[in-house]
Amino acid sequence: SNLGDIPAFELRPSQLDEGAQYRPIPRKIAPIWPQDSHVDIIVTLSPSFNPTPISETPAEFVVLQERNFQMSNSSEKRTVNTKFTVPRAVQNNGTLWGHFYVGLTGSNLDPRQPGYDSAKAYHFAYPLTQYLPKKKVAKTRNLLDSHSEDEEPEEEEPTGPIITNHYHPNASFAFVPAMGVK
């Protein structure tokens, strides 16, 4: 099913053939699961790159919990609107991380729990904040006002860009169907 000479993931060998060398960055990649698979998806938010066990994540920070999502059905769409309290660490210039857990329906999605199988589930973290230069504020003065001598001198602005933390108020992700071997 669109895999070329790469065997299906569940048929992969348990060890490399004699003389074969492991490549940390593969030359070719293929889908891990068949395109008609159904998956469970959980997305959580955290101020840490390291995931908290899903069972210990406060409900407010579990922003998506989807069961039995069919990957190959392009008409399957989900929209989730939620609000959460921005963690104190993120308010103090920390990074807001999204933890994405995807796995075959019914499998254990939490890599910190016993029974997690990397052949049936996948976790990745993605930063939802960006550090961007702060936009300059244009100095304005009303030309119709009289210019008074006793105005306070303007404060000198620091040289160089001021970097501030921004997060996106919305995010989206999609499954790319039928990509085959690349």
Q: Which are the contacts of 108, defined by CB distance < 8 A and separation ≥ 6? A: 115, 116, 117, 120, 121
Q: For residue 76, is it within any domain? A: yes
Q: For residue 136, is it within any domain? A: yes
First-to-last C-alpha distance (Å) of the chain: 14
pTM: 0.76
Per-residue pLDDT, 61: 95
Q: For residue 45, is it within any domain? A: yes
Q: For residue 154, is it within any domain? A: no
At residue 170 the predicted structure's pLDDT band, cuts being 50, 70 and 90, is: confident
Q: Are 81 and 51 in contact (CB under 8 A)?
A: no
Stated length of the chain:
182
- Top-confidence residue, 125 or 178: 125
At residue 81 the predicted structure's pLDDT band, cuts being 50, 70 and 90, is: confident
Domain total for the chain?
Answer: 1
Buried b / exposed e over 2-31, threshold 16 CB at 10 Å, is eeeebeeeeeeeeeeeeeeeeeeeeeeebb
Q: Which of 7-11, 36-40, 86-90, 150-154 comes out lowest in average pLDDT?
A: 150-154
Q: Are 51 and 112 in contact (CB under 8 A)?
A: yes
78's tokens: 């989900």
- Top-confidence residue, 13 or 45: 45
Q: What is the mean pLDDT of the chain?
A: 84
Closest C-alpha among 9, 39, 64, 67 to residue 175: 39
Per-residue pLDDT, 76: 79
Q: For residue 19, is it within any domain? A: no
Per-residue pLDDT, 2: 56
Q: For residue 102, is it within any domain? A: yes
Neighbours of 50 (CB within 10 A): 9
Q: For residue 178, is it within any domain? A: no
Q: Which domain holds residue 139?
A: 31-143+160-167
Q: For residue 81, is it within any domain? A: yes
- Top-confidence residue, 162 or 50: 50
